[in-house]
Amino acid sequence: MQLFVNHQHTQHQGRQEMFRGRLVDCHEVPARLDHVAAEWERRQLGAARALSASLDDTHAAIARVHNGAYVEFVRTAWDQWVALHPDNAQRDALPSVWPLPSRHGFRTDAPLHNFAARLGQYAFDAGTPLMQGSWAAAEEGARCAVSAAMAVAAGAPSAFALTRPPGHHAGPDYMGGYCFLNNAAIAAQRLRDQGFSRVAVVDVDYHHGNGTQTIFYERGDVFTLSIHGDPRTEYPFFLGHADEAGAADGAGSNLNLPLPRGTTFGTWHAALQTGLERVMAWAPTALVVPLGVDTFAGDPISGFGLQSPDYLRLGQTLADLGLPTVFTFEGGYAVAEVGVNAVNVLQGFMQHHRLG
């Protein structure tokens, strides 16, 4: 497996997020990536590769899945924030106002000249702090994802984009869930652009990959599967229900398998197997795995009961599909254990993967 690491990730270090009604220290911290990198190195799984994607190539790949006005806002948001008042340089930007859907009479088509309004227009929660280095870290993360997809397109059996901030909650024109750019969607689109006719995205994070689903919902060339906490009680709440099956050309190409809080590995793995049967019946030619390990029993903001050895089995199950595969690093907030759990998936995959 080829490893691509975002060495710019520490530029994004949120101070606080809004969580369950109060401002708390951020759960999404640089140590998450550092633990994974250290565990990979401890197991001597190979040196990280130089990023092969140029910035121009990365920007083109971002534009394939994200709205241009949204990308420009994220790129320039920090400068706009500091321009409001010099003291803002010492504070993260968090949204405080949002438009409701248009059926309530709220408009998003009119020009907005207030920074708080623009930030709210492009965000769906107050838990995704934006700071001076957020764009640099997210941009380099997208570059990792493109590099990983390019490696697989060039013949590598698998590749891992080890990056933060994560990405699977970011939609075509919105941020949220700690995510600004959707690395998994960027990788899937790059695989499509490099000749893979049908790409499946299998999201194993505890939280539904709402951004990825939205990006591909009306397309029939990318199948999106997500196994996650039931959105009736779990974030992100407003997507991820079992009746969301895709639309237009994508009808039948989206499968959500929501599970109740407290689910342990046996039930979770059975759901995964059910989903993978659908995936393989769809006949994909490549696979993207948004790898979240916040399904771990000790995760502070999640609710499943997987244990560290279960992640080896997950990797083996994914390997049995026999597909060229890109992994992107997503959630996992039991920071001390995140390295072991993530690398267990990858090592289990590498030990069993055989291209068909």
Of the listed 9, 169, 228, 353, which one is catalytic? 169
Q: What is the pLDDT of residue 356?
A: 47
Residue 315 is part of a domain; what is its CATH number? Answer: 3.40.800.20
Is 135:179 a contact under the CB 8 Å cutoff? no
Residue 172 in domain: yes
Residue 110 in domain: no
Residue 228 in domain: yes
Q: What is the pLDDT of residue 148?
A: 98
Q: What is the pLDDT of residue 291?
A: 98
Is the pTM higher than 0.85? yes
Residue 64 in domain: yes
Q: How far apart are CA 3 and CA 147, in angstroms?
A: 10
Residue 103 in domain: no
Q: How many domains is the chain built from?
A: 1
Establish whether 207 is a catalytic residue: no
For residue 303, give its domain range. Answer: 2-96+127-352
Residue 230 in domain: yes
Helices 55-65 & 134-153, crossing angle to 10 degrees? 90
Q: pLDDT under 70 in the chain at which residues?
A: 355-356
Q: What is the pLDDT of residue 101?
A: 80
Residue 86 in domain: yes
Q: Edge to edge, what strands does the sheet with 286-291 contain?
A: 2-5, 158-162, 325-329, 286-291, 199-203, 222-229, 254-259
> 192: burial class by Cβ within 10 Å (0-12, 13-18, 19+)?
buried
The DSSP bridge pattern shows strands 16-19 and 22-25 to be antiparallel
Residue 104 in domain: no
